[in-house]
Amino acid sequence: MYIENHMDVLGMGRRQLQPWNTVGASMPYMEPIVPIRIGDYTRTHSLLPWRPNVGFENTEVIPLAPRSISNYALDTSGKMATRPLKFPNLITGYQRNPVHASQAALYTRYTPHEWFQKQVKYYNEADSQRHYSERMRGDALRIIRDAEEKIQHGQYDTNRRLGERISDVTFWRNEVASELERMLHEIERLQDCRGVLEKAIRDIEGPLHIAEECLYHREARKSTELVHDDSEKCLLREVENLRANQKKLEACLDRCKDQLRNCRASQNQLELDLKNKESALGIDTVCHHLHNQSHGLQYYSGVEKYDPCVSEQETWADAANKIVQRSQTERNKSCQLRTTAENLVNKVSQEMWNSWSSTNSALAHRSSELLEAKSKLQQHLQKVQQEIYDVEKNLELMRKAIADKSYATKVAHTRMEARMHRPDMELCRDYAYASLQKEIDEINHQLERMHKTLKELENQHQKLLRTRTMLEHDLALKIDAIYIDREKVCGLRRAYPVNALFRF
């Protein structure tokens, strides 16, 4: 029996998680019982906070009053007296007093009737509480079933309504998306028409206007690319042109811009309505897919009392229909305007002619020089970029190495902090403590070295970035100059001859 109790105590001690120290911990309750003998006393253990006392008998010594109770004799009914009470000796054992025990038993017991009445009372109380509990359990089960049925019906009805709403929103979303796609195509064609009109207005001004436009575009070059080269000299010599039908083309261009503005306004309405419908459809779809086991469910107190709605089912559909109808009207106007502009440009293009080949040759030669300079800059930029990539890889490796050292630092700090909770004399500055201090100092030293190296790498990285920025800036100037000479100027001059270049 002693071995079994001892094993139970050890098992319970392992399963209980104890604090680091016992400061402020309350002592367990000790019930006073009959003292044990010396033989049994050697098998007990000291009461420690981290070991349970289940299965062991505890003793409590109650100090005697200054005047010993043994000096008094027990007097019952004034007729008999017993011998003085003898208290047990906690060291040598317990000496019994059977006479006193038998005498006291006559005055400390209940009658059998009282005992029987008490048992009957307890039985009745247990029956009453059990019957009441059975009724409560039955009512609780009925309430649970009724609530589950009503809530499931409500969720089913809400899911059905959400499905109908998703169908309606999907229909109008598709209508708006289709109309938006048609409007985008029409705006694109109208933008092409506006470009042709602008180009035609420039072309009809003759060689003088073309030269001025090319000079204007070349003035957009930056920094050292503003070179007074042969191309600019040729453009300065090209100063003659005819002005014809300018007002008609400009008026048509203004109408095209106004119509384009109206089309973009309709596009904006369609995009906004489509975005709102996509958002609403996504929200309704998510709500439709929610169920009782979904993740992210939350309580929102009072949300059912707030009504943010701004439209009804009928007004919502009517608003979407009006947006689509306005877009269709603007598309029809844009189509008519494009037909008018095409006829006008084709008529004006027959009256334009001039010589411009020499200027184009100079521009082509200048473009070849810019391309060669651009190629060399790109080679140097590629080398610098590769070096930046290598430095960035080293930076990442260094940062990762520094981050990895945090685990070792945490381990050392955790060990140091945990060892601070050793009790009393166990809080020793031993070799492990010195080793932990040395380990932390070494980690801090290595981290300092790594941070210093990281700072140097970052400085070098910044220098490489500045070099790359300088090369990229010069390359951007070259690209910008090439774009101006080849795309804007040459492109403008390629479209200048009077032929079938002004078609949609």
pLDDT tens digits along 169-186: 899 889 999 999 999 999
Instruction: Please name every residue paired with 93 in a beta bridge, in sequence order, or none if there are none.
Output: 89
Query: Does the pLDDT at position 140 exceed 80?
Result: yes
What confidence tens digit (pLDDT) does each residue in 20-57 have? 343 443 344 344 444 444 444 444 444 445 444 444 44
List Cα–Cα distances, 45 to 7, 10, 94, 249, 284, in angstroms. Answer: 13, 12, 20, 111, 68
Count of H helices and E strands in the chain? 11, 2
pLDDT of 101: 53
Comparing 157 with 242, the larger pLDDT belongs to: 157
At 76, which helix (H) or strand (E)? strand 75-76
What confidence tens digit (pLDDT) does each residue in 65-105 have? 444 434 444 444 444 444 555 545 444 444 555 555 555 55
Contact present, 245 and 348 (Cβ < 8 Å):
yes
Owner of token pair 């400009």: 250
DSSP state of 67: S
CA 432 to chain centroid, in Å, comes to: 42
CA 262 to chain centroid, in Å, comes to: 40
Q: Angle at CA 38, nearest 5°, toward 33 and 42?
A: 95
Contact present, 342 and 192 (Cβ < 8 Å):
no
Query: Does the pLDDT at position 2 exceed 70?
Result: no
Contact present, 203 and 495 (Cβ < 8 Å):
yes
Nearest one of 55, 51, 61 to 27, comparing CA atoms: 51
Maximum distance among all alpha carbons in the chain? 155
| CB-based contacts of 174-182 (< 8 A; 24+ apart in sequence) | 175/320, 175/324, 176/270, 176/273, 176/274, 176/277, 176/320, 176/323, 176/324, 177/274, 179/270, 179/324, 179/327, 179/328, 180/267, 180/270, 180/271, 180/274, 180/327, 182/327, 182/331
pLDDT of 359: 75
Q: Angle at CA 142, nearest 5°, toward 137 and 143?
A: 95
**Percent of the chain surpassing pLDDT 70:** 72
Q: Which domains does the chain have, with CATH numbers?
A: 137-292+311-367 (1.20.1260), 381-420+428-500 (no CATH)
pLDDT of 230: 83
Provide the 3-class DSSP secondary structure of residue 86.
Answer: coil
| 126: its two tokens | 């247990």
DSSP state of 69: G
What confidence tens digit (pLDDT) does each residue in 182-218 have? 999 999 999 999 988 887 777 776 667 777 777 888 8
Length of the chain: 504
Provide the 3-class DSSP secondary structure of residue 344.
Answer: helix
The residues near 409 (Cβ < 8 Å, ≥ 6 apart) are 440, 443, 447
* Dihedral pair phi/psi, residue 308, rounded to 5°: -90, 5
Nearest one of 457, 475, 456 to 382, comparing CA atoms: 475
| 151: its two tokens | 């809530």
